[in-house]
Structure 1
Amino acid sequence: MSKGACALRILVAREVTGLSQLEVSQRAGIANNALNNMERARQFPNREIMRYYHRAHRIDFNFLMHGDFAQLPMDIQEALFAHLDTRQRTPQIVDGS
C-alpha cells in the first residue's frame, strides 16, 4: 500500500482505459497535476479518482489502494495484469519511490 505501489496501479488503470492524463483528470473532476502527482507517487489516490475508475471502468478501491483483485471482473483483471506485466519487463522510474 505504499505510494509507489499505488502510483503503479493508478498508472496501469489509466493505460487500460486508453485515455490521457488530461482526459482522465477532466472526467474525474480533478486537476491534471493531481493525477500526475498520484502517478508519480507524490500523493495517494484521492476519493474522486477512485470513484471515477470504479464507476466508469469497474476498477475498484481495493485494487487501486491494496492491489486486491478478487472483486474485479475477469476482463478487467486480464487487462490490468497484461499492463502490469509489461511494466515489470520494462522498468520505469517513479518519482518518490
Structure 2
Amino acid sequence: MDYLEIERICRRGDTSPEAIHKRLVAARLMTGMSQKELAENAGIKYTTFRSQEQSGAPSVRLMSYFLSAFQVDFNFILGGDPARLPADVLREIAKHLD
C-alpha cells in the first residue's frame, strides 16, 4: 500500500465526527480489546468511553491513553495524519480502516 492509499484510508484531513469515530474504532480494534476492557484500562467509565467512540469526540484522557499505551498519536485520531504512527501500529490500524 503506497502513502497516498494510506492517507485515503486514514481520511487524512477529515476532522468530522464520523471520521474520528472510524479512527477510534480502528485504534481500539488494533488493541484487541473490547470497549469495556479498553475503558477500564484507560480509567474511563464504560458508558463514557462508548459515548466518546460513537460520537467521534474523544477526551484528552482517552487520547493520552492511546498515545502512552499504543503509540497512537492525537494527530491520527483527530485528523487522520498517519505520519507520527510507528510503521507496525499503522499496519495494524490500517487493517481495520476503510
**TM-score in same-fold range (> 0.5):** yes
Q: CA deviation at 1:33?
A: 1.1
* Greater relative contact order structure (CA < 8 Å, 6+ sep): 2
Correspondence for 1:27: 41
Q: State the Cα distance separating 1:82 from its structure 2 match.
A: 1.4
The normalised TM-score by structure 1 is: 0.81
Output the amino acid matched with 1:55. S
Instruction: Extract unaligned runs of 5+ from structure 2.
Output: 1-14
Q: Which residue of 2 aligns with 1:62?
A: 75
Equivalent positions of 1:74-89 (< 5 A) are 74-84=87-97, 88=98
- Out of 25, 28, 44, the residue aligned to residue 57 of structure 2 is 44
Q: Which consecutive segments of 4 or more residues in structure 1 shift more than 2 A?
A: none
Structure 1 runs not aligned, ≥5 long: 89-97
Q: Which residue of 5, 8, 32 maps to 1:18? A: 32
In the alignment, the residues of structure 2 paired with residue 83 and residue 50 of structure 1 have an alpha-carbon distance, to the nearest angstrom, of 18
User: Once the 2 structures are TM-superposed, how far is the Cα of residue 32 of structure 1 from its aligned partner?
Assistant: 0.8
Structure 1 vs Structure 2: percent identity of aligned residues? 36
Partner of 1:92: none
Number of residue equivalences: 84
The offset of 1:38, in angstroms, is: 2.1
Provide, for residues 40-92 of structure 1, a one-character-per-residue CA deviation record: whole Å limited to 9, x for no partner.
Answer: 12x511011101100000101000110001011000111111111xxx3xxxx
* AA matched with 2:94: F
**1: CA distance, partners of 2:63 / 2:22:** 14
Structure-2 separation of matches of 1:26 and 1:51: 14
Amino acid in structure 2 at the alignment position of 1:67: G
User: Separation in 1 of the partners of 2:49 and 2:73?
Assistant: 17
RMSD across aligned C-alpha pairs, in angstroms? 1.0
